[in-house]
Structure 1
């Protein structure tokens, strides 16, 4: 079985140098009791869920890849806080990335972090505002020489870095589970294939019997920006897919929405 420890050692175009370093023995999230003394090095909402979509119609992203939904903090029990700081509900995220010299991150997001209606920018803004602003380890106070929106860049970068390490399509295909218009799969087949590669059981979600979302659950040692992500079983919701008859439909790329074009002033 592969290691269940995911270290953010190969950040995509980002050194995350501005955020304060955490000690190597920082407490692991969801394994502390009482008040957390250093909320910059241990997440207050301790579990982190890297969540992926499979949109077949309308289709999003490449034919042989899942796409990013988001990176969600969780209170270690399935509950979560949301929209935690309206003063940091940043907009024009694509422009922010370009202004900060992170066109590589933006390019990746434009391919793999897609909105099913074509409004990628609004989708990114929603995910940041609802979930990203709630990470205690990404609070501006956790940074030295902080510049506005540094924590946004770290949030986006961590999300896509984890996504790159969680190739759901490949993991399922390795187990003989591929999109089909006629074949169906059992919950156990899908869960087992992903658990074998990930090291823990992910959450599977379905819509009308169609597999459309996977959530990979982590505890974190250190900051979400550059900590160690430890694969764990979910402690809250367990998903809603049936035991059998799960459809995993091919993407109909003819239904892919045209992305709304933005502009930076």
Structure 2
């Protein structure tokens, strides 16, 4: 998870039911120009915020590389030859962000952070103690959606639905285009969850990280090590912009190989964030790749990064991997 960097002015809206208090009428997006998010026209005074993202217009589709789930004994396993979904995030255009913007749609049993600004003086995010949110999706008949999510949107040391609930509550509620008034007077409760889940998957399907790395000869291995620049180059060749690569595990200068080095980046590949802007609603998928706004947490030394195989019992359908589990919170 990202550490919280919150714009204070956003917090007033951050705990209300709606981001802007707009009406639930007259959001016919076919009549609205498809302005690019983070452009000069993508502001509430110039465009319908249900039709163009005006609250957080720098989007991130984020993915995990985990090597175990912690719930293999309960049948919760990772897909073969694929990274898994982390989420879809709406950063502000300057790269900062807020979270838990609508506490009336708070379904996260373990809010992280537990205040809206990540600080002790923030508004407390009350833990959700209701039913498994799978029950919110089944009335819409989206069993195929749930099956896909249970294959590719996988929690670690927690049930899958808890990760989904966290991502929706923390991030989806901070998009102007997922705001409840956008769904009109005939809104059916919880359809916004279905909309967010489908949109997240739309972008995930376009970003086959495993295949892109494999095409460059970068595959999970317990013995081979890799270099950050080579991985970034492989992904940029396909995506047309450099994503953020996140690593966990020991810092390079704390390992035997890196003793005495000034490189304090971490050494176990665990996450990727693809940045983009979008024309019109992000739900429509008209995206434009954007360079990462931060700096990778991975070590930069040649051959410093491990891209571990998954644990032997962690992959659906079985695997010949013998990797120990690597954890990234």
TM-score between both structures, scaled by the size of structure 2:
0.68
1:74 maps to which of 91, 95, 104: 91
Please show how residues 155-194 of structure 1 align to structure 2 within 5 Å.
155-194=196-235
- Match of residue 136 from structure 1: 176
The answer to whether the Cα contact below 8 Å between 2:60 and 2:90 also exists between their aligned partners in 1 is yes
The answer to whether the Cα contact below 8 Å between 1:56 and 1:252 also exists between their aligned partners in 2 is yes
1:39 aligns with 2:97: no
Flag the 1:67–1:202 CA change in 2: closer, same or farther, 3 A.
same
The answer to whether the Cα contact below 8 Å between 2:42 and 2:52 also exists between their aligned partners in 1 is no
Mapped partners of 2:49, 2:32: distance in 1: 15
1:146 CA drift (Å): 1.7
Mapped partners of 2:64, 2:189: distance in 1: 30
- SS of the aligned residue for 1:78 comes to coil
- Match of residue 280 from structure 2: 222
- Match of residue 88 from structure 1: 105
1:227 CA drift (Å): 4.2
- Match of residue 306 from structure 2: 247
The answer to whether the Cα contact below 8 Å between 1:201 and 1:234 also exists between their aligned partners in 2 is yes
Q: Deviations along 1:154-173, whole A, 9 cap, x unmatched?
A: 11001111111111000000
Q: Which moved more, 1:204-213 or 1:144-153?
A: 144-153
1:29 maps to which of 34, 37, 40: 37
- SS of the aligned residue for 2:149 comes to helix
1:52 aligns with 2:52: no
- Match of residue 122 from structure 1: 162
Flag the 1:197–1:147 CA change in 2: closer, same or farther, 3 A.
same
1:110 aligns with 2:167: no
Mapped partners of 1:31, 1:72: distance in 2: 18
Mapped partners of 2:298, 2:51: distance in 1: 35
1:130 CA drift (Å): 0.5
The answer to whether the Cα contact below 8 Å between 2:69 and 2:78 also exists between their aligned partners in 1 is no
Mapped partners of 1:82, 1:67: distance in 2: 22
Q: Deviations along 1:40-61, whole A, 9 cap, x unmatched?
A: 1222101110000000144751
1:98 CA drift (Å): 1.1
Please show how residues 204-215 of structure 1 align to structure 2 within 5 Å.
204-208=245-249, 209-215=267-273
Structure 1: gaps (5+ residues): 1-18, 258-265
What count of residue pairs does the alignment treat as equivalent? 238
Q: Deviations along 1:142-188, whole A, 9 cap, x unmatched?
A: 12332111221111001111111111000000010001111111111
Structure 2: gaps (5+ residues): 1-26, 71-76, 108-130, 250-266, 317-329
- Match of residue 8 from structure 1: none
Mapped partners of 2:136, 2:170: distance in 1: 18
Mapped partners of 2:135, 2:212: distance in 1: 34
The answer to whether the Cα contact below 8 Å between 2:43 and 2:49 also exists between their aligned partners in 1 is no
Which has the bigger relative contact order, CA under 8 A and spacing at least 6?
A: 1
